[in-house]
Amino acid sequence: MRNIKMTIKYDGSRYKGFQRLQDNDMTIQGKIEAVLGKMTDEPIEIIGSGRTDMGVHAYGQVANFKTNSEMSLKKMKAYLYEYLPEDIVVTNIEEVDERFHSRYNAKSKVYLYKIYNNEVHDPFLRKYTNHITRKLDLNLMKEASKELLGEHDFTSFASSKSKKKSNVRTIHSIEIQENNNVIEIYVEGDGFLYNMVRIIVGALIDAGLRRKSIKDIKYMLEAKDRTVASDTAAAKGLYLYKVKY
């Protein structure tokens, strides 16, 4: 039995998230499994490094699957490229140790959030950025982000749907940069709770608009109460950027 690791890039605009739904294949996982099943003539279930929500994109989602197929990696990649929808591309494929698990073996993940910060929206970026009309203060956002670094209980930054036993996570870094009115926020951590990155971004937006102070951000963490934290930023600005092993 071979264990195959894939790196996947996708535009999540028209999908109901990564995880396959029982009654609908309009998911990233559903589309890939359908193509792999035809390719190998086997029932295939892929294991993703994490679940991305409806409308969320990926530059570097990682998944693995097991198969008895003897098809070469080169032919597998070519087959996937030909038969997957144009908004899903397997950018790399390799054979790995049978014990490799895309989710459990991940050391950290990097998420990217994009904001288009301009008075009027860009029609060509509207599906891939969160449009904020008021000018954001990047220096305030960077100062606020420092409060979130390190190990914390992120209960305030998790959706009420999150069912993890522990809400303690470690944020390794938050980098914020701007180019041509597009603000990019890179968040790297050892793991993330449901909607955690989008709520963090919501808090940083509030800081950048001077709606929340640095003390407010600190209080959000200490309160361990979702109701005191900022709103969840729009899904369309979020990308799973990279998974590190």
Give the Å distances, CA to CA, from 74 to 15, 78, 92. Answer: 27, 6, 10
Same domain, 124 and 73: no
Range of the domain at 63: 2-96
Beta bridge partners of 86: none
pLDDT, residue 24, reads 62
Segment-wise mean pLDDT, segments of 10 residues, the chain, 245 residues: 98 94 84 96 95 95 97 98 98 97 97 98 97 97 97 92 81 97 98 96 98 96 94 97 98
Give the type of residue at 77. Answer: K
* Structural domain contains residue 112: yes
Same domain, 119 and 231: yes
Looking at the structure of the chain, the number of domains it has is: 2
Boundary residue ending a domain (73, 96, 119): 96
Same domain, 210 and 150: yes
Boundary residue ending a domain (39, 68, 96): 96
Same domain, 68 and 184: no
Which stretch of DSSP H or E encloses residue 204? helix 196-208
* Set 25, 53, 122, 137: catalytic member: 53
pTM: 0.94
Beta bridge partners of 64: 5, 47
Boundary residue ending a domain (69, 96, 123): 96
* Structural domain contains residue 102: no
Q: What whole-number distance in Å separates Cα of residue 33 and Cα of residue 35?
A: 5
Tell me the CATH number at 90: 3.30.70.580
Contact between residue 102 and residue 47 where contact means Cβ atoms under 8 Å apart: yes
CB neighbour class for 151 (10 Å; exposed up to 12, middle 13-18, buried from 19)? exposed
Take residue 94 and report the two structure tokens written for it: 């390799």
* Structural domain contains residue 58: yes
53 classed as catalytic: yes
